[in-house]
Copies of this chain bind each other. A is one copy, B any other.
Amino acid sequence: MTYCLAIKVEEGLVLASDSRTNAGVDHVSTYSKMHTFVWPKNRYLVLLSSGNLATTQAVVKRMRSEADHGAGIYSAPDMDAVAAYVGRLSTDIQKEHRERSNADFEATFLLGGQIDGHQPEIFLIYPQGNYIHESAEHPYLQMGETKYGKPILDRVIRRDTPLELAGRCALVSINSTIRSNLTVGPPVELLLYRNGGDARLLSLSEHDPFYRALNDAWNEGLKHALNGLPKFEWEEERRAAQFVQEGGSGTMR
């Protein structure tokens, strides 16, 4: 399985992915699922891939090869055209593979990026080649093992969430998924794209000091949050009773 997500906030985009691939439990390995395509001052594109590895590798290869000839993602006029193009490549390649076998060749993609003169955008591209974008009410998209990491996004992510905070939230979302599900694993790749072209890419292994510090701080923060929750009625009563017993009321007035 896989867990990837893309967030669009006012300041820019966050894209994050795990790196575990598996075909059955005895065929587990590590592949980057984050592919960047950069032409400075012209376009910045990021593709996150999940599903059949042969399909996703072929899609990425063809994207690079056609862009080298000035076509495909290099000539697409806007992000919508890029999404449609990736969807077309994906279904074409699946069709080629299905001509030789009946196995499951499906692949799903998250696409994010900006083309000069346009706003940054993110898309979820389905195995059928069609796609959706995010919305102001729902400013993030996920694929793969989406459920474990969804509650924190639902509670935190808004359009006006600062970019770096959204990035930390994405890391927490992936980290929670990794802890709860064996088929999602490090390294975690995180890309923060600030509107206009400034991008930061991190690849965080499980031993990375920043990743560990983040995990520890999150654990501490959650414990603190739990300890700050309102007590049950009877706990208050018990505490009040103890207070009286210990002569607390005698010192009151």
> How far, in angstroms, from A152 to B223 measured CA to CA in the complex?
10
User: Which residues of A pack against B, CB within 8 Å?
Assistant: 145, 147-152, 154-156, 164-165, 167-169, 172, 176-177, 179-180, 192, 200, 202, 210, 213-214, 217-235
Which residues of B are found within 8 Å of A213, using beta-carbon distances? 230
**What's the minimum C-beta distance from A108 to chain B, rounded to whole angstroms?**
18
> How far, in angstroms, from A154 to B228 measured CA to CA in the complex?
19
If A148-B148, A155-B219 touch, whether A226 touches B168 (CB-CB below 8 Å) is yes
The answer to whether A164 touches B231, judged by C-beta atoms less than 8 angstroms apart, is yes
Give the number of copies in the complex. 2
Which residues of B are found within 8 Å of A155, using beta-carbon distances? 176, 179, 219, 222
The answer to whether A169 touches B224, judged by C-beta atoms less than 8 angstroms apart, is no
The answer to whether B156 touches A200, judged by C-beta atoms less than 8 angstroms apart, is no
Which residues of B are found within 8 Å of A149, using beta-carbon distances? 151
> How far, in angstroms, from A228 to B231 measured CA to CA in the complex?
24
Which residues of B are found within 8 Å of A152, using beta-carbon distances? 222
If A155-B222, A180-B154, A217-B228 touch, whether A234 touches B147 (CB-CB below 8 Å) is no
The answer to whether A179 touches B154, judged by C-beta atoms less than 8 angstroms apart, is yes
The answer to whether A225 touches B232, judged by C-beta atoms less than 8 angstroms apart, is no
Which residues of B are found within 8 Å of A202, using beta-carbon distances? 232
> Residue on B with the closest CB to A169?
B226
> How far, in angstroms, from A177 to B150 measured CA to CA in the complex?
9
**What's the minimum C-beta distance from A226 to chain B, rounded to whole angstroms?**
6
If A222-B225, A228-B217, A230-B217 touch, whether A176 touches B151 (CB-CB below 8 Å) is yes
The answer to whether B156 touches A226, judged by C-beta atoms less than 8 angstroms apart, is yes
Beyond the given A148-B150, A224-B224, please list 7 additional residue pairs across the A-B interface where CB-CB is below 8 A: A151-B180, A154-B179, A155-B222, A165-B226, A168-B229, A210-B232, A210-B233
